[in-house]
Amino acid sequence: MNLQIKNSVSFLKTGKTILYPTDTVWGIGCDATNFEAVQKVYQLKNREESKSLIILVDSVEMLKNYVEVLPKLAIQLIENAKKPTTIIYPNPKNLAKNTIASDNTIAIRIPKDDFCLQLIKAFGKPIVSTSANVSGEPTPKTFSEISTAILQSVDYVVALHQDKTTEKSSTILKVVGTSVNVIRE
């Protein structure tokens, strides 16, 4: 695993894209603070930039560097989540502008996956995490379902957990004041 982390970080630091196993589905990732790298992800997925991306961080401490206000409710949701949960926050900061939705929000998750956490920690910055499919096509549940187009378009493919099967993406919640809106279950 250490070699895969080292190789991934090397690609991320130079603005390249990676295909990697997340705590949910296989993801296409890049440096979430690098505008050009994020642009490559949109091109790879043939996705409109008006649709924002999910970002992964390794801790609540890292999260604080990328959102203006971290509501106590969000911290409670993170701490009590039984399954992968992405939270949408208003007023993101220090991220590439093209990761941010048109309503000035950002979707961020702290994965509970050893590889992801070690990768983010080694990289020292948030990583984009978007499903490994062309926009509009089904999300692959296994590595073998990832299209050749995606496999050939990313700069680096992580050689770990390629036998992993995942049934679904993360839950997405939007914290608005003291209420929680479920965007995706």
What would the mean pLDDT of 75-96 be, rounded to a whole number?
Answer: 93
Lowest mean pLDDT among 40-49, 58-67, 92-101: 40-49
49: which 2 tokens? 């930039």
Q: Which residues span the domain enclosing 140?
A: 3-184
Lowest mean pLDDT among 129-138, 140-149, 174-183: 174-183
pLDDT in the model for residue 181: 85
Element (H, E) at 176: strand 171-176
Task: State pLDDT tens for residues 111-128.
Answer: 988 999 999 999 999 999
Task: Give 127's strand partners.
Answer: 31, 56
What would the mean pLDDT of 145-158 be, rounded to a whole number?
Answer: 94
Of 108 and 178, the structure prediction assigns the larger pLDDT to: 108
Tell me the whole-structure pTM to 2 decimals: 0.92
Class of residue 165 by CB neighbours under 10 A (exposed 0-12, middle 13-18, buried 19+): exposed
Task: State pLDDT tens for residues 48-61.
Answer: 776 778 999 999 99
Nearest to 7 by CA among 148, 113, 122: 122
- Whole-number percent of the chain with pLDDT over 90: 66
pLDDT at position 15 over 80: yes
Instruction: Kindly report the CATH number assigned to the domain that includes residue 116.
Output: 3.90.870.10
Q: How much of the chain is in helix, strand and coil states, percent to nearest 5?
A: 30, 25, 45
Please give the Cα distance from 102 to 17 (Å, whole number). Answer: 23
Lowest mean pLDDT among 71-75, 87-91, 180-184: 180-184
Lowest mean pLDDT among 73-82, 90-99, 124-133, 148-157: 73-82
Domains in the chain, number: 1
pLDDT in the model for residue 169: 79
Q: CA 150 → CA 87, 119, 155, distances in Å?
A: 26, 21, 10
